[in-house]
Structures are given as C-alpha cells and as structure tokens.
Structure 1
Amino acid sequence: MRAIIVDDEKHSRDALQSMLAKYCPHVTVQALCCNGEEALQAIHQLTPEIVFLDVEMPVLDGFQVLEACRQPQFAVIFITAYDQYALQAIHHSALDYLLKPIDAQELQSAVDKAGRLPVTETARMVNKLLSFLAQEDRKALPTAQGLKIIAARNIIYCKAVGNHTRIFLQPPETQVTIKARMPELIGWLRDRGFMQVHTDFVVNLSLMEKYIKGDGGAIVMCNGDSVPLSRDRKQDFLLRVEHL
C-alpha cells in the first residue's frame, strides 16, 4: 500500500515510518509531510492509498486537510495525542485513529482495516465527520492542549494577542486562547454575524448590549466587556447595527 505520513513533529514522522517498516512491510511510505499544505500537495501528486494524518497541526489541521480534499480517494488513519474534542468528532465518523505514542498492534490493526475498507466508505465517513463539525457552525481550533471544537454562536468576541487569538465565550465557559492569528478566524466568522470593529477585535453583533458614543466609541458586549471601535470602522458598524 502506498502511504504518506503527515505530522508537524519530525520525531513522530520518523517513529511511525520506522514502525511501518518493521510491522507493516507491505506499506510503502511515499512522503513525509510536516504540515497540511505539504500534505495536500503530496496527496495530489502521489495519489496515496492511505494517509496517516496528524490532527493537531498549525495553519491547516488534519480536519481542514480532509475538507480541502472533498472526496478523498484514500483511507485515513488519524494520529493524535489524547484530545477529547478531536476524539469526539473522530468517534462520531467511525474513522480510525492511533493515539500517541503509537502501539504496534494497534497500528497493524488499523492498517489491516484500512486495506479492507472501500474508498466509497472512507468518503462517507469523511463527509460524516465534516458534517458533524459543521453542526451549529462548529470549528475545531488549535489550542496548547490540542483541538477545541467551538460553535460560532457561543463566541462573544475575539481579541488578537500576538500570534494567538483569545476567544471570549458564553457561559459556562469564559475564554480560550487559540494558536491562530485573527485573520485565520475572520473568514469563518464574517458570514456568521461577526464584524471586525478594530484591528485587534472581532465581535458577535447579536451578542452586543449597547454602543457608547465617542471618537470611535466602544461596544459593550453581553458579558459586560467593553470593546473599542476604530474610528475608520465606525460608519460601517453603525450601518450594520441598523439592520440587525
């Protein structure tokens, strides 16, 4: 079987390649990819039969790689550290996964299952996974602990913090820091009732309480937090609010 390994950690890629050579000699590793973009290129060029796909990766995570593939013509085995949110989504789809550190017997079992699974069944499972993530506009976002699945409707506002984004949520949760820059979230949120009101802030317009006039002004959100409004975004903001 032709395979590619996708993992942002070199030692994990090398370890899996060694285990495949030892325990699954019928699997030929065509490429080792360190991120989602490399994975998409390798999938397109090499047409693998099986993809070992790390879930937690920067820029494009494993779920986003599958979303970009649309109708995958290969078997998928996820690789992940224990992460309740990622595993919840994977379990729902019935796709296979391996927990780090990888167990040799579980690896053999997963590869054997992948070899027997029709491509059409894999595509069905992937669609089920993506549909699950799309429910209530949910998205798997990278945190320091793994992936956090968040529904857009539960986000009050987002604040840029260096290379990360802090997301303020409705109770019972309060906030979570995402390992992604604000621009990576704006495309997802813009069509869901959110607006960037400041270089460092994006707000959920449906969860604002009031607007306080000023040079730019301030927006008070439902949790009582005050978010600054840039002067150059004030007119667009007021027009959006009029049509809520």
Structure 2
Amino acid sequence: MQAIIIDDEISSRNALRSSLKMFCTQLEVVAEAEGVADGLNWLKHHSVDVVFLDIRMKDGTGFDLLEQLGETTLKIVFTTAYDEYAVKAFRFSAIDYLLKPIDPDQLIDLEKKLLKLNREENSKQKDAALANRNSLQMIGLQLHDGLQYFRIDELVRCEAKSNYTSFHFKNTHVLASKPLKDYEEILPADHFFRIHKSHLIHLKYVKGFNVKSSTVEMNDGSVLEVARRRKETFLELMSLS
C-alpha cells in the first residue's frame, strides 16, 4: 500500500515516516505535502491508497482539503495533537484518528485494519468480476497496431506464446500482448477451459477427444495435448456440455 503524509510541520512528517517504516512494513510513503494547497494539488494528479492527514495547518485544515477534494475512495487517517476533532473526523469516514505523539501500537493496529479492508475490497472485486464473466460478449485485445474488439463466441482457442497470447478465431488469428493467464481470468469459466499450460480452449468448438493419446481435436483442425492432471476435469466438463 502506498501513502502520502500531509502535515505542515516537517518534524511531524519525519517522525511519522520513520515510525511507519519501522512498524508498518506493508505501507510505503511515496510523497509528503506541507499543507492543504500542496496536498490537494498532489492528490489531484497522483494516486495512493492511504492519506495521513494533519488537521490544523497554516493554510487551512485537513477537513478543508477533503471538502475541496470531493468524493473519494482514499483511506483517510487523521494525525493531530488535538483530540476535540475526533467526532468530526469520523464524519469524513476516517479509517483512524491518531493523536501525536503517535503510539507504535496504534500504527500496528492501523496496519492490521488497512490490510483487512484491502482483503475485503479485493474479495468484493473478485465476486463482481466473476458475476460479470458469463455475460461478457466481446473481448478487447491489445495488438501491435492498437486495441481491437472481437466476439467471444467466435473464439476457438488461445495459445501461450511466452508473454504473448495467440488468439484463434473462426475466421482469423491474432497475437495479443498479454500472457495467457490474464485472459483465462477474463473469459467465461463455463465456456473456456485450460487443458494445458499452453492451451485454453472454447468447449463448444471441441470436435473430439482421443483417449489413447490424450489429445483434443478442435473445429479448426488443431490437435492439442490435454495435461494429465487436467484430463479428468476436462472430461467431466465435456459430459455436461
């Protein structure tokens, strides 16, 4: 996770940076800002996961910054020497409110909280991606001359070519600039199956299976090896299709 520290006191920024390096090993401070204007300008042009935000600064407050920034998914951690702002801080959906000087135990607990939130967000994103996979009709492929879109129902098979992937459609084939595993995660799991580390096939275009040689023949005439450890699952899928 990447973070920015926004505080008008350099001593406070240095102390927090050192403490984070020591007690929050999963957090990387990538920037510092010395006030509201400086911090707002940086956030409008860069992306981080966490903002450590002082409340009282020479050119305004941390609340001023958030109001000017508008709606955000940033994880806000207020850092201040004053405890009277706690209620207002949590109205801004702050992740935490740390009183200076900051206790190392608070930082350890904060990191645990941030990691837990990340896991929950990643889980939600994966669930949403899985829910959308089966409704996918087109796929965008980055080719040497730019991004092009193709119909998924015309895709016969994909073949790994080092860090590239060869896509074989019914009437054409193209080379896309990403590894096969990236496309395996995108294509509908109920239509496509990875029969081998080098081959991902569209099940509806399977013409036949040779048990003796453990190879599958596709409608485009290609004959592909089915890895031993994937054979049983492949046959089960074919019996259901």
TM-score (norm 2): 0.46
Q: Which has the larger radius of gyration?
A: 2
Scaled by the length of structure 1, the TM-score of the pair is 0.45
